[in-house]
Structure 1
Amino acid sequence: MIIGPYAKVWEFSTVRAGSYVGRRVSIGFNCEVTHSYLSAGAVLGHRIGLNRAIVGADVHLSANVTAAAIHLTTDMRRPDREVILRVESGLYRCGTDRFSAVIGDGVQTGTGITLAPGTAVGPRTHIGSGVTLPPARVFPAYSLVSASTATDISVTCPRRRRP
């Protein structure tokens, strides 16, 4: 485990072996970070669970965000399904049965978010409260992801910005 300069880990939080916590990262009350990489300036609110995730710079995850690393199976101690990502060109095999999410730079979330295994969230995406992101999905940069109900997810992708 590596904890970078000026990083803060608040009460009742656990950062487990195999994790990297970058410069000026703040890990809030009652969080668990397992085998994850947190880039500089990331802020984890209260009760965040990250398992085998890659978190970009200046990300802000509000309270009660969970990134699950394994699919449901008969014996949860022995995962038996490889994690994949569905990208425009087809399927990307992660080569492991334990991987949760890639969260791009500047992503912001509301509360009560669940990221299923194999989720990729593009930079500067905003995810509204109460959203459960399905497995093996890629959400483009600058998206707005919201849900009025648990089964109604809306993704709004802005037009491409010109440099």
Structure 2
Amino acid sequence: MPSVRLSDYLTNPAQGRLAKTAYGDLGGYELADFLGQWAALHADALAHVGSERIHPTAYIHPSALIGDDVIIGPNARVHEFTTVRKGTVVCAGASIGFNCEVTASFIGENTVLGHRIGINRTIVGTNAHLSANVTVAAIHLSTDMRRPTREVLLRVPAGIYPCGTPQFGALLGDHLQTGNSITLGPGVAIGRHSQLNSGTTIPPTRVIPAQSVISNPVTADIHVRARVTGRDRCHQVSRLK
């Protein structure tokens, strides 16, 4: 049976009240189980941290926008023109740079998100460093992007791993280092101590083992085909009949 254990990718948070919540045992979860329970676990964590939802030692730039249910740990930093949206956890010592958008994500202790980072439904381990212009998609393209229905999958060595949700970006391991202008997902897992070189694109379902170096070859080949819309598809079916 395919398995993706969070403990194979990340270290549990150990500082602040967050360490006494379910997030403090994050590594004990199977990925799909955690994704299915995430909202409830986050609600429980909010109740536990109470008045320290945003720790008094955290720095929030006056131009940053922080959601009402976001948890920000000790000595974390959120810089100018950044938005941290619903359900996000920013662990102790983590830093989110200029003009980022972080939605429903977990940012591990001492991890750095550089400038213009956009991530959604993503889990990032400790001591990672995402440089600039890194985008993680959380849903597949569809005719109605507001109501995604296609389940996100991962291709693990044992077979196809269903994530149990149509909304999941990436699982990024401890000590991941990236260059700039990188696109991931939806549905990507990258092991600990890996390096993503600038300009890399990792498409859906890919699982990268720990201590990997990933780069995309430069190519001038561009493949273009006509996009078939719903109406055109109906006409094609009619002609076939």
Q: Is residue 19 of structure 1 aligned with residue 92 of structure 2?
A: no
Higher helix share: 2
In angstroms, what is the RMSD of aligned CA positions? Answer: 1.3
Within the candidate set 68, 77, 82, 2:151 is matched to 82
Structure 2 unaligned spans of 5+: 1-69, 222-241
Runs of 4+ aligned structure 1 residues displaced above 2 Å come to none
**Residue aligned with 2:217, SS:** strand
User: In the alignment, does 2:108 pair up with 1:53?
Assistant: no
The within-5 A match list for 1:3-18 is 3-18=72-87
Larger radius of gyration: 2
Query: Where in structure 2 are the equivalents of 1:1-163 lying within 5 Å?
Result: 1-149=70-218
CA deviation string 1:4-56 (max 9, x = no partner): 00000000001112000000000000001100000100000000001000000
- Paired with 1:99 and 1:31, the residues of 2 have a C-alpha distance of 18
- Residue in 2 that maps onto 1:155: none
Q: Deviations over 1:112-159 (max 9, x none)?
A: 00001110010000000001101001000000001222699xxxxxxx
Normalising by structure 1, report the TM-score: 0.91
Q: Give, as a single letter, the amino acid of the residue that structure 2 aligns with 1:11.
A: E
User: Separation in 2 of the partners of 1:151 and 1:76?
Assistant: 30
- Structure 1, unpaired ranges of 5+: 153-163
Separation in 2, partners of 1:63, 1:151: 24
Q: Which residue in 1 is equivalent to 2:50?
A: none
CA distance in 2, matches of 1:28, 1:5: 17
CA gap of 1:98–1:150, structure 2 versus 1, over 3 A, is farther
Instruction: Give aligned-pair identity as a percent.
Output: 59
Figure out how many residues of one structure are paired with residues of the other and give that number: 152
TM-score by length of 2: 0.62
| 1-structure distance, mates of 2:220, 2:194 | 20
Q: What SS class does the counterpart of residue 102 from structure 1 fall into?
A: strand
